[in-house]
Amino acid sequence: MQCFLSLAAMAEMERIDDKFGSRSNGVIAELNRSGELHDIDKETSFLIKSALEIARNTSGAFDPTLYELTKLWGFDDESSEKRIPSEKEIEEALGSTGFSRITFVEESQYVSLADGAMLDLGAIAKGYAVDMAIAKIKALDDGATGFIDAGGDIGVIGPKYGSRPWIVGVRDPRGESVQDVIEYIYLYDGAVATSGDYERFFIEDNVRYHHILDPETGYPSRNGVISATVIGKSAMLADAYATAAFVTGMEPGVTFLPRFGALVLLVMEDMSTFKSPGFEVYQER
């Protein structure tokens, strides 16, 4: 049964990736090619609506229109050449970014992109895939326990042995391996996601260039944060708000995120940490 549940979860996550990946032949790739879509399905509508809501909540720190910039830096795919774009290239790409360039009409199931904008739901779809995989597992076995780890996005299926928390280690951003941990949290349910400058990056002239781009500058975010971990009720929300927390930075930046159900742990360049009020509750057994 366990093997069957794992296969079902993997199939669901692959379905989400195929459908919402910007490089695939799914609905988002189709939107980027055509510039508009009519009669989008409810799942696509939900994900776009959620992305726009989080973008508004974070004043654009989370921005789902950075695909052109991501491609410029070579972070759209592992095989893409990593490079520092010219200032002119970045300026031109910024001319087609910004979530205000997305028109979404839920009632008529319509979405369009203005000024050459391209949608990239990567910072929210991975978490959503975790949520949907958990839903699939629970539909097949309501008593299932465990968790799903999708490379930095962790969603809890159910408590350990039905009553105990899962212990999740927050990776040391400057550790030598994933086994190097800087903090621990304890989860009975919900999800946790981490965005860090160690995930996808390249170094040129002793400068680290990472994949978490600042929507205002078009360059990798530089505000002293090297890792942002968010605890949320769903992996989708934790995933997106972790990206926003990384870009927003420390107080007064991330202090507003708990109002949206996102509890934040920031690790700074000097290895100091900042925790939003309430985060410490999840560090107690």
Model pLDDT, residue 252: 67
DSSP 29: H
- Give mean pLDDT, residues 205-215: 97
State whether the Cα torsion 16-21-27-28 is positive or negative: positive
* Domain carrying residue 197: 149-283
Is this structure's pTM higher than 0.85? yes
DSSP notation for 159-209: -BTTTBPEEEEEE-TTSSSTT-EEEEEEESSSEEEEEETTSSEEEETTEEE
Same domain, 196 and 250: yes
Instruction: Check whether residue 95 and residue 176 sit in a common domain.
Output: no
Looking at the fold, whether 85 and 184 belong to one and the same domain comes out as no
- Report the number of distinct structural domains present in the chain: 2
Domain assignment present for residue 228? The answer is yes
CB 173 within 8 A of CB 228: no
> Tell me: the pLDDT tens digits for 211-269?
999 999 999 999 999 999 999 999 999 999 999 999 999 866 788 899 999 999 999 99
C-alpha–C-alpha distance, residues 110 and 106, integer Å: 7
Query: Tens digits of per-residue pLDDT, 12-36?
Result: 999 999 999 877 689 999 999 999 9
Q: What is the CATH number of the domain that holds 193?
A: 3.10.520.10
Measured in residues, the chain has a length of: 285
239 annotated to a ligand binding site: yes
91 and 183 co-located in one domain: no
243 is in an annotated binding site: yes
First to last CA, the chain: 30
If asked whether residues 53 and 160 sit together in one domain, one would say no
Residue 129 inside a domain? The answer is no
